[in-house]
């Protein structure tokens, strides 16, 4: 009786583990790099949002203060005499986009620190606000006020972030700025307090 045996050579897989490990290492490295890049982009986005928000709040504060100054010029309120003197009395002749765009607000020199009509607002802070969180003196909000026909005022405010850099011509070279504008009719009643009554603010 004869027995036949069949033998099969062992399959040798040489050098497979190392290439796979290298491929996985490349993938992991790429994923880590992508995550770091996304994190940096998110941080930059968040920082831009913060600086822009500071500039917007600053511009809103200036707009409110300058509306008070415009009303004071009509009411004869001596508390704002210095600021009232800076109101430009060259009337904007019409309530049109073309006429408004020709106002002094659209002239860059009006926003220079030496501008004759520039009104700078000193923000007030609560006592618990640290000094390093307050706006730098050079970056305080400002506005220009110009009279219009029909006893109205065109008020334009500008707010800057704390890291903003402005050159001698009033041009922003770094940081964030926000511009706001309103047309005010001082004789129109304004809601002033939480009780819901109307009156002069």
Question: pLDDT by residue (tens digit) across 77-92?
Answer: 888 999 999 999 999 9
For the stretch 109-140, pLDDT in tens is 899 888 999 999 987 655 555 555 555 666 88
Alpha-carbon distances, residue 172 vs 9, 76, 162, 193 (angstroms): 78, 35, 12, 36
Residue 139 and residue 158: Cα distance in Å, rounded? Answer: 10
- Three-class secondary structure of residue 132 per DSSP: helix
* Residue 159 contacts residue 165 (beta carbons within 8 Å): no
Domains in the chain: boundaries: 17-199
pTM of the model: 0.67
* Helical segments of 80-196, H only: 81-84, 97-101
Q: Tell me what pLDDT residue 92 has.
A: 94
In this predicted model, which residue has the larger pLDDT, 140 or 188?
A: 140
pLDDT at 154 over 50: yes
pLDDT at 72 over 70: yes
């Amino acid at each position: 009786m004869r027995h036949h045996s069949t033998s099969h050579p062992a399959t040798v897989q040489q050098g497979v583990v190392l290439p796979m490990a290298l491929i996985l290492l490349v993938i992991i490295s790429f994923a880590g790099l992508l995550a770091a890049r996304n994190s940096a982009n998110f941080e930059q986005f968040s920082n831009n949002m913060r600086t822009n928000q500071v500039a917007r709040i600053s511009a809103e504060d200036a707009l409110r203060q300058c509306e008070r100054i415009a009303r004071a010029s009509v009411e004869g309120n001596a508390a704002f005499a210095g600021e009232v003197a800076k109101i430009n009395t060259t009337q904007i002749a019409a309530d049109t986009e073309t006429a408004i765009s020709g106002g002094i607000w659209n002239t860059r020199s009006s926003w220079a620190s030496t501008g004759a009509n520039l009104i700078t607002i000193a923000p007030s802070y609560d006592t618990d606000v640290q000094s390093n969180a307050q706006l730098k003196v050079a970056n305080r909000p400002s506005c220009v006020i110009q009279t219009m026909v029909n006893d109205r005022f065109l008020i334009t405010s500008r707010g800057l972030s704390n890291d903003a850099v402005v050159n001698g011509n009033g041009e922003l070279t770094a940081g964030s700025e926000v511009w706001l504008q309103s047309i005010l009719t001082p004789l129109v009643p304004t809601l002033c307090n939480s009780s819901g009554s109307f009156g002069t603010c």
